[in-house]
């Protein structure tokens, strides 16, 4: 077994300043849609890198759920500039895109298909090191061996997975997360909770990942709703909690909540319904807990979580049910729908959502097949058959009880 994290993790208010201690001659900074510019963090990062004696180039405009095309275009710019540091700032999207650009920059012949081979990447750091600076409190991609890239021609999100893309340096500065809008706070927070819960019940859990997962869940329990409602201290605590959840899942791996979220996210794009990753996780997590709890070992682990965060209950079954109730109540408090049928405009709950029933049912067999084939399925405590995955996805569409 292996436990891998960034070599250096700088945390706490003002930790962005540690950029000026990086050693190199050229840095490329990858950012997203503009919040890093708007709030002045990009300018500060560039100034610190210049103070470190580096020439700086910016790759900006990386979209949410970055595409294969964005990755290839960014890598081409890196080929030209030849950086020895790649610094990625913002939400999960620019950091994930920069990780994939890094692979293509170091190995220009590599195809996207080759990047998708789980733990099959060549040795990186022959040209550049990687620094990640998250602005959202959820994906934890700053400490993980993962990146998610979307192939829009297929409507599928592909997780890239290899310890080679674990960043060298992570800077977890809560000041940057203070700028998150409310909805993003909710979705990224539920993503973080899902990471910790899936890591704890994963078949690859171990003594090194368990404490990180449990403590992250406890912090999320006490901080997420307060953070959503604007408490600055709770925002800072969530930034740490999501990072610990990331440390846990990067090493313990995930499960089918993520498999299903990856394969439904872009599947209904034509209907104006890109199911936001964190909202998908929030909707599917209670259903997957019920499904996995039919496995005795998984049920015991869910009960451990319920005990650790003091949810009550006398039997394992009661504790599992209380954990499901806890997740559903969080969704209510964060204004997240409980099922795909009610997933509407701005990812808010509504009577009739974006995804028409007949379209969902038509796409269901293919989505189920793709979800089973997802990189996250292998470490789930219960491997679903095609029929079970279809039934589970139906429960996630209609908000039905999982009794199989």
Retrieve residue 147's tokens.
């990146």
Tell me, what's the pLDDT at 225? 98
Retrieve residue 377's tokens.
């399925």
- Residue 163 neighbours by CB distance under 10 Å: 17
Q: Please give the DSSP secondary-structure letter assigned to residue 355.
A: S
Tell me, what's the pLDDT at 268? 87
Burial code (b: 16+ CB inside 10 Å, e: under 16) for 327-366 equals bbebbeebebbbbbbbbbeebeeeeebbbeeeebeebbee
Closest CA to 275 of 400, 267, 361, 359: 267
pLDDT per residue as tens digits for the range 107-128? 999 999 999 998 999 999 999 9
* pLDDT tens, residue order, the chain (404 aa): 899 999 999 999 999 999 999 999 999 999 998 889 999 999 999 999 999 999 999 999 999 889 999 999 999 999 999 999 999 999 999 999 999 999 999 999 999 999 999 899 999 999 999 999 999 999 999 999 999 999 988 888 888 999 999 999 999 999 999 989 999 999 999 999 999 999 999 999 999 999 999 999 999 999 999 999 999 999 999 999 999 999 999 999 999 999 999 999 878 877 777 899 999 999 999 999 999 999 999 999 999 999 999 999 999 999 999 999 999 999 999 999 999 999 998 899 998 888 999 999 999 999 999 999 998 999 999 999 999 999 999 999 999 999 99
> What is the three-class DSSP state of 70?
helix
Tell me, what's the pLDDT at 2? 93
Burial code (b: 16+ CB inside 10 Å, e: under 16) for 164-189 equals bbbbbbbbbbbbbbbbbeebbbbbbb
Retrieve residue 87's tokens.
């610094």
As a 3-state breakdown, the chain gives helix, strand, coil percent values, each rounded to 5, of 55, 10, 35
Closest CA to 347 of 334, 357, 360, 359: 334
- The secondary structure of 321-341 as a DSSP string is HHHHHHHHHHHHHTT--SSGG
Contact 306, 319 (CB under 8 A): yes
Retrieve residue 64's tokens.
């949410």
| Measured distance CA(186)–CA(184) in Å, rounded | 5
Contact 226, 279 (CB under 8 A): no
Residue 171 φ then ψ, to 5°: -120, 110
Query: Rg for the chain (alpha carbons), in Å?
Result: 20
Tell me, what's the pLDDT at 15? 98
- The dihedral through the CA atoms of 344, 393, 245, 273 has a sign that is negative
Closest CA to 150 of 96, 81, 196: 96
Closest CA to 370 of 389, 350, 356: 389
Tell me, what's the pLDDT at 274? 83
In this structure, the dihedral spanned by the alpha carbons of residues 329, 330, 332 and 338, taken in order and rounded to 10 degrees, is -90
| Measured distance CA(283)–CA(265) in Å, rounded | 12
Tell me, what's the pLDDT at 100? 98
Tell me, what's the pLDDT at 203? 98
Which residues fall within 8 angstroms of residue 213, CB to CB, at 6 or more apart?
A: 196, 197, 199, 200, 205, 244, 245, 248, 249, 252
- The secondary structure of 87-137 as a DSSP string is EEEESHHHHHHHHHHHHHHH-TT--HHHHTSTT-PPP--SS-EEEEEESSS
């Amino acid at each position: 077994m292996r436990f891998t994290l960034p070599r250096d993790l700088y945390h706490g208010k003002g930790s962005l300043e540690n950029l000026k201690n990086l050693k190199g001659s050229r840095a490329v900074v990858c950012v997203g849609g503009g919040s890093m510019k708007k709030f002045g963090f990009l300018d500060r990062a560039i100034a610190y890198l210049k103070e470190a004696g580096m020439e700086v180039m910016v790759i900006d405009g990386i979209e949410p759920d970055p595409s294969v095309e964005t990755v290839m275009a960014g890598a081409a710019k890196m080929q030209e500039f030849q950086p020895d540091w790649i610094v990625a700032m913002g939400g999960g999207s620019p950091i994930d895109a920069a990780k994939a650009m890094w692979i293509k920059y170091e190995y220009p012949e590599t195809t996207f298909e080759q990047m998708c081979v789980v733990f099959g990447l060549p040795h990186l750091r022959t040209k550049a090191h990687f620094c990640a600076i998250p602005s959202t409190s959820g994906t934890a991609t700053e400490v993980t061996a993962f990146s998610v890239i979307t192939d829009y021609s297929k409507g599928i999100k592909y997780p890239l997975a290899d310890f080679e893309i674990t960043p060298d340096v992570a800077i977890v500065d809560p000041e940057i997360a203070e700028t998150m809008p409310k909805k993003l706070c909710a979705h990224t927070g539920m993503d973080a909770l899902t990471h910790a819960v899936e890591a704890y019940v994963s078949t690859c859990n171990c003594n090194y990942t368990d404490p990180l997962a449990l403590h992250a869940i406890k912090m999320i329990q006490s901080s997420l709703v307060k953070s959503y409602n604007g408490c600055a201290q709770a925002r800072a605590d969530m930034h740490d909690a999501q990072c610990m959840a990331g440390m846990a899942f990067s090493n313990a791996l995930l499960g089918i909540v993520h498999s299903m979220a990856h394969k439904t996210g872009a599947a209904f794009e034509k209907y104006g319904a890109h199911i936001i990753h964190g909202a998908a996780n929030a909707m599917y997590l209670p259903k997957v807990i019920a499904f996995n709890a039919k496995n005795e070992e998984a049920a015991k682990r869910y009960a451990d979580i319920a005990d650790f965060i003091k949810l009550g209950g006398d039997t394992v079954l009661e504790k599992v049910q209380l954990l499901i109730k806890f997740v559903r109540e969080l969704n209510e408090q964060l204004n997240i729908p409980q099922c795909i049928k009610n997933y509407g405009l701005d990812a808010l709950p509504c009577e009739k959502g974006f995804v028409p029933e007949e379209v969902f049912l038509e796409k269901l067999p293919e989505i189920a097949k793709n979800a089973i084939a997802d990189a996250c399925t292998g470490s789930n405590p219960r491997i679903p058959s095609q029929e079970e995955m279809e039934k589970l996805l139906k429960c996630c569409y209609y908000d039905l009880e999982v009794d199989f």
